[in-house]
Amino acid sequence: MVDDVLEAQHSLQRATILRVYNYYRILISFLFLVLSLDPNFNAFVGKVNPELFRATSIGYLVLNLIAGLASFFVSARWLANTTPSFVILVLDIVFLTLLTSASGGVSSGLGNFLIFTCAFSGSLILGRVSTVLPAIAFILVAYDEFYLFFLGENDLQSFFQVGILGVVYFVANVFFQSASQQLRKTKSAVFTLEQTNQLIIDNIKTGVVVVSPAGKIKSINRAGVTFLSIPAVPEIARERLPYRLVDKLQEWRNDHHQSTATFHTREASPELIATFSTLGPVTTTADTLIFIEDSTEAQRQAQQLKLAALGRLSASIAHEIRNPLGAISHAAQLLAESDDLSKGDLRLSEIIKNHCLRMNDVIENVLNLSHRKRATPRTLHLQRWLEGFVEDFVAGQPGTVSIEIDVDPADLSVNVDPMHLSQVLGNLCQNGLRYSEQNTHEARVLVSARHAQDSQNPYIEVIDYGTGVDKLLVKHLFEPFYTTEANGTGLGLYLSMELCDANNARLAYSQASHGGGCFRISFLGQFRQ
Q: What digits encode the pLDDT tens for the residues 307-359? A: 667 666 666 666 677 778 778 888 888 877 777 778 787 788 887 887 787 67
Residues 183 and 151 in one domain: yes
Residues 310 and 290 in one domain: no
Residues 134 and 241 in one domain: no
529 in any annotated domain? no
Task: Provide the domain limits for residue 57.
Answer: 2-199
The predicted structure's pLDDT at residue 64: 84
362 in any annotated domain? yes
Residues 90 and 109 in one domain: yes
The CA distance from 65 to 67, in Å, is 5
Number of domains in the chain: 4
528 in any annotated domain? no
Domain-ending residue, one of 370, 388, 408: 370
133-166 pLDDT, tens digit each? 888 888 888 888 888 888 777 777 778 888 888 8
Domain-ending residue, one of 199, 221, 237: 199
**More confident: 71 or 513:** 513
At 210, is the pLDDT very low, low, confident or very high (cuts 50, 70, 90)?
confident
Residues 435 and 386 in one domain: yes
The conformational region for residue 289 under phi > 0 = left, psi -120 to 50 = alpha, else beta, is beta
The CA distance from 186 to 116, in Å, is 24
The CA distance from 41 to 481, in Å, is 102
388-434 pLDDT, tens digit each? 889 888 877 888 889 999 999 989 999 998 888 988 998 899 899 99
Domain-ending residue, one of 199, 234, 267: 199
Per-residue pLDDT averaged across 67-73, rounded? 77
The predicted structure's pLDDT at residue 329: 81
Cβ proximity of 403 and 393 under 8 Å: yes
The answer to which of 250-259, 297-306, 355-364, 472-481 has the lowest mean pLDDT is: 297-306
**Mean pLDDT of the chain, nearest integer:** 79
The CA distance from 99 to 51, in Å, is 11
Cβ proximity of 414 and 523 under 8 Å: yes
406 in any annotated domain? yes
Using alpha carbons, select from 447, 425, 427, 434 the residue that is nearest to residue 401: 434
The predicted structure's pLDDT at residue 460: 94
Could you tell me the CATH number of the domain that includes residue 387?
3.30.565.10
Query: Is the sign of the CA dihedral 110, 111, 112, 118 positive or negative?
Result: positive
The predicted structure's pLDDT at residue 317: 65
Q: Which long-range contacts (CB under 8 A, 24 or more apart) does 437-444 make?
A: 438/466, 439/465, 439/466, 439/467, 439/516, 440/465, 440/466, 442/402, 443/397, 443/399, 443/400, 443/401, 443/402, 444/401, 444/402, 444/403, 444/404
Q: Which residues contact 194 (CB under 8 A, 6 or more apart)?
A: none
Residues 154 and 248 in one domain: no
Residues 305 and 405 in one domain: no
349-400 pLDDT, tens digit each? 887 887 787 677 667 666 665 555 667 888 999 999 999 889 888 877 888 8
Per-residue pLDDT averaged across 33-47, rounded? 74
Q: What are phi and psi of 258, to 5 degrees?
A: -100, 95
Residues 187 and 108 in one domain: yes
